Amino acid sequence: MKIHELRGMSVIDRRRLLKILGATAALPVATRLAATDVLMGNAHAQAAQEPMYFIEINLRDQWDHGHVFVAPSLARNVNLRRGATGRLAAIYAPASEIKQVPGTDIFLTNDSLPLEPHVDTIAMIDCCELSAGDIHGHEAANPLRSPGRTKQSNKPGYLPMFNNERGSNHPQGCEAYYSATPTVAALHSHYAKVVDRNTKVGIAFKGVGRTLHTVYHYGAGLPNGELDRLRSRNELFEHFPDTVEDLNVLAKPEDARALTNILRRIDPAFLAKRKVADSGGVQHGANLDEAQRLLYVGEPRVVSLPLTQEETAYWSAGVPAQVSESPRAQIWEQVAWAFKLVSNDLCRTVAIEFDYVDVHDQRQESQVRVQAKQIALPLARLISKLKEAGIYDRTVIAVYTADGSRAPAANSSGDEGKNTIILAGGMVRGGYYGDISVAGNDGDGHVYAYHMPDLASGVRLSTGSTNNSGRVPGSAVWRTVTRALKIPDSYLQFPDVVNAQPLPFMLRA
């Protein structure tokens, strides 16, 4: 279709028009695609896709989310024996503090209460396939991140995960794992470049403070699957230097008029062909009014990754400081950088890493509450900011306990009990899935039973396991995250996940 308004407009200007269309939340996808037909031709329209963003938060040192979403049966147990040693439950919130979110099986504590406005899009499973590191579960890989990872070095098609990042004491706590399945961040980095070759390769901020530990990011040989590893603030800021964003791309009246005329040429019949229900073009006209307003959004601004004083105050408020040996960045800083990267479309795949401090013989109340605040507060603020930016529905946040997590028993290690996933985003159906209950008494505390959710319905299995059996397979979790990211199944033909199914109860249709 030829329109005279386009004759004096360069290809670059046309693409800038498309960028505005892509960012205009008021326009339905089909309307944007129809406008793309007009601007660039039908072939370009078929390739047009809204970007998906992935933020991966990797927590080391056997992180315990027991004060974030409290297991329902433990929250309801009026005879729970609490304490910092032995088999006592390291859940210190008394019944008077624990709040059940109405209509859900989510129980929050004072430490996690800021998440309450967002729990409809936050899902958590404690009873996932366990980590298997030689030192009570410590590992840099994790079966939820790369299902099928193995220590067998001669397995055909399995490559080393550790080539690009080794702990200083390798392989202690960072065993030599091999895999055929990319970590989700690596796969998303690859697929984001398939969708848009102009986007940047994903990044991993190597934020773990203890030098003997790390987190593996593994591309499995996929083009653009190996993330750019950034090991300091300076490396991060040099990788993403300050840029000027001119938000008045169409500040000239003739450009704005051209865009309006292009969109008005999309008549009701054209919209109907694109399956857009719009009686008489009323909604289409309203969309045009909104688009006209959004063309004038303010003065050019500098996009800068270092946090301003105001941003620092917002992200850091109430978040306990890192207690590891040599923190490279606080967790709230890393989450803030991740938000600035995705909200400005500087990068679509961002993985961050953070560690607490290794705890073995006992878990004090202060330790458990610090961990809860360090994840709950930044996560709540991240979700709020993504919603304000209008991209939460296109963002997936995955929080992994890379070493596995702790059982409720205070002196437990990561090779028993729990391995937790927290998943958030507009595609996620919120809830606490599965359960942990008291199966009996043991010394000063309890025997704990782990009830995984049914893989199809999400309903808690009535019979729980008191050993390390009965856990949600890592392959099912992996497929759930990739489905939330809208990565086509044709990209998932890896031997350890090809027959796995996503967990439908965690996803919105």
CA distances from 488 to 43, 143, 184, 188, 192 (A): 20, 21, 13, 11, 12
**Which of 239-253, 296-310, 384-398, 473-487 bottoms out in mean pLDDT, i.e. has the lowest?**
239-253
The residue-averaged pLDDT of 432-446 equals 97
Query: 255-274 pLDDT, tens per residue?
Result: 767 766 766 666 566 666 66
pLDDT confidence tier of residue 244, bands split at 50, 70 and 90: confident
Residue 45 binned pLDDT confidence (cut-offs 50, 70, 90): very low
Q: Among the listed ranges 8-22, 46-60, 205-219, 402-416, which one has the minimum average pLDDT value?
A: 8-22
- Please write the tens of the pLDDT for every residue from 8-44: 454 445 555 555 555 444 444 445 545 555 544 444 4
Range 73-84 burial, b when 16+ CB lie within 10 A, else e: bbbebeebbbbb
Q: What is the mean pLDDT of residues 184-203?
A: 96
pLDDT in tens, 125-135: 999 999 998 88
How many residues comprise the chain?
509
Assign domain 53-242+304-506 to its CATH architecture.
3-Layer(aba) Sandwich (3.40)
**Cα dihedral sign, 49-50-51-55:** negative
CB 403 within 8 A of CB 138: yes
Element (H, E) at 292: helix 282-294
Q: Provide the pairing of β-strand 243-245 with 301-303.
A: antiparallel
- 3-class SS of residue 424: strand
Q: How many CB atoms lie within 10 A of CB 448?
A: 26
User: Under DSSP, is residue 444 helix (H, G, I), strand (E, B) or coil?
Assistant: coil
Q: How far is CA 484 from CA 42, 249, 480, in A?
A: 28, 32, 6
Residue 392 and residue 385: Cα distance in Å, rounded?
Answer: 8
Mean pLDDT (whole number) for 476-495: 96
* Amino acid at site 42: N
SS3 450: strand
The span from the CA of 474 to the CA of 310, in Å, is 40
Give the model's pLDDT for residue 25: 43
**pLDDT at position 174, please?**
87
Please provide the average confidence, as pLDDT, over all residues in the chain.
87
Residue range 358-378, pLDDT digits in tens: 777 788 999 999 999 999 999
Q: Which residues in the chain are classed under CATH 3.40.720? A: 53-242+304-506
Q: What CA–CA distance (Å, rounded) separates 470 from 461?
A: 10
Q: What is the DSSP string of 390-406?
A: T-GGGEEEEEEETT---
Q: Is the pLDDT of residue 301 over 50?
A: yes
